[in-house]
Structure 1
Amino acid sequence: MEPLNQWLAALLEGNVIFTPQTLGYYWTGLVTTAQLVFLSLLVGLVLAVPLAILRGSKHRWIKLPVYFYTYVFRGTPLLVQLYIIYYGVVFVDGIQQSMFWPILKEAFYPALIAFTLNTAAYTTEIFHGAIKATSRGEIEAARAYGMSQGLTMRRIILPSAFRRALPAYGNEVIFMLHASAIASVVTLMDITGAARFVYARYYAPFEAFIFAALIYLCLTFMILYFFRYLEKRLLAHLKPLNGT
């Protein structure tokens, strides 16, 4: 780490592109990226839990629409989804005269919608697989105890499924962080957008994008550390005892 710290310090001190103004652009991009990723993951998680339950329904008319939704959003590129929502919203009849237009005309909200729908589709499948992997013995024990189907789902199946889904969901969070780099194509000033602006102004692609990559790298390490901590806390009962 010491050579990297020395190189970064020399880069910041010796290169004229890293002024307080340009660093302010990167800070603005960092805040925008954090808001976009956090909100899309939060809303996507709220949507994914009930969709995952419906995905496992025995009724085809319930589970097939959910399957179709996840199939479409997992089977098409996120960039294409972003373009369709960002450019397609203006063609909705009456949208420009509605109360929602002041919000939807900003690039942030179409990007948020696209990212939310995409991560909700992946998270739905992650939780659906975790719910299906629930031990039959746990469900039978809950029924023997007198729990209803809804109570069993809330107290037994979902907590158990969340613990099993945690590693896969951590990867989804990192994927969404990296995928957020495409938000700059719709004029959003995220981390990559800040790097593109600095590059266009100073014609220094290596410094601009390497600095952006370091920011993404630091955020990735923070996410990894957070999910490793959660796994240690929530999956501690699966580790063998010392000496056994």
Structure 2
Amino acid sequence: MDFPFLYETFLTLIAALPLTLQLAATAIAFGAILALGLALCRISGILPLDWFARLYIFIFRGSPLLVQIFLIYYGLGQFREVRHSMFWFILRDPYWCAVIALMLNTAAYAAEIIRGGLLSVPHGQVEAARSCGMSPFMVFRRITLPLAVRQALPAYSNEMISMVKATSLASIITIMEVTGVAAKLISETFRAIEVFVVAGFIYLAINFVLTRLVAFVEYRLSPHMRQPAPLSAATVAGEIR
């Protein structure tokens, strides 16, 4: 292995890391908001909203993400109405096209995860909150949503990891994130193995940090599941006295 080349490659690819993180964070944040709306539609009991959410989830989970990126970036520009609309300044930008595609895709998967978390909230706690005089919105904000987030977080962390890796597809539409820079470097040096090893290491490091952050949040949200600290002999002796 050519370690000087690996080091130079690492410095080149790490410069594209902020764009990768920004792309993933933006898509996950907007996707979570959309996913919550879809999950509420699924459990609303209103048939048109339920079927709309079902159709949305079926389409975006059943079609490849790469096809969705191509349709948004290349397909929408073919319509004259889109090119002359107020949204064209967004849809002509590769970055925002990638964000939209990633957002719409992750929302379809996250909606079912959030729906499962919402349905796992014990009905007795909701009834107890209502009996205390809480409004439906307050019950959702203070009881249902926090409990649902706690239940859904382990599964949702897998979706966040998948979305970080999915940002590599944005290089197909000329976005120079980590994979895009790696592909450009390979075309210049013809050393694919070394470049992709470094790129894979960077994605691995990102996801390691992400899993640790999610584990910390899950720990903070689950105080009732922690093991009580063992009492020392001096403390026990003092309580007996």
TM over 0.5: yes
Specify the code of the residue in structure 1 equivalent to 2:26.
Answer: L
Separation of aligned partners in 2, 1:24 and 1:108: 23
Task: List aligned pairs for 1:83-232, cutoff 5 A.
Answer: 83-232=70-219
1:72 aligns with 2:72: no
Instruction: Report Cα offsets for 1:45-103 as digits up to 9, x if no partner.
Output: 12222221121011211211011111211111111111111111112223323443343
Residue 206 (structure 1) shift: 0.8
Residue 210 (structure 1) shift: 0.6
**Where does residue 233 of structure 2 map in the other structure?**
none
Relative to structure 2, which stretch is displaced further, 30-39 or 148-157? 148-157
What's the TM-score, normalizing by structure 1? 0.87
- Superposition RMSD in Å: 1.9
Instruction: Report Cα offsets for 1:98-152 as digits up to 9, x if no partner.
Output: 4433432221111111001011111111111100111111111112212222221
**Where does residue 238 of structure 2 map in the other structure?**
none
Question: Aligned to 2:121, what secondary structure does the other structure show?
Answer: coil
Would you say the 8 A contact 1:73–1:118 is kept in 2?
yes
Question: Aligned to 2:175, what secondary structure does the other structure show?
Answer: coil
Separation of aligned partners in 2, 1:170 and 1:58: 28
Separation of aligned partners in 2, 1:229 and 1:18: 31
Instruction: Report Cα offsets for 1:214-241 as digits up to 9, x if no partner.
Output: 1101101110110111111111212343
**Where does residue 4 of structure 1 map in the other structure?**
none
Would you say the 8 A contact 1:28–1:189 is kept in 2?
no
Structure 1 runs, 4 residues or longer, greater than 4 Å off: 22-25
Separation of aligned partners in 1, 2:69 and 2:16: 18
Closer, same or farther in 2 for the Cα pair 1:102/1:149, shift >3 Å? closer
Residue 25 (structure 1) shift: 4.3
1:38 aligns with 2:14: no
Separation of aligned partners in 2, 1:104 and 1:133: 38
Specify the code of the residue in structure 2 equivalent to 1:207.
Answer: E
Q: Which runs of 5+ in 2 are unaligned?
A: 231-241
**Where does residue 3 of structure 1 map in the other structure?**
none
What's the TM-score, normalizing by structure 2? 0.88
Question: Aligned to 1:94, what secondary structure does the other structure show?
Answer: helix
Separation of aligned partners in 1, 2:95 and 2:71: 14
Would you say the 8 A contact 2:182–2:199 is kept in 1?
yes
Would you say the 8 A contact 2:57–2:108 is kept in 1?
yes
Would you say the 8 A contact 1:181–1:190 is kept in 2?
yes
Separation of aligned partners in 1, 2:88 and 2:13: 28
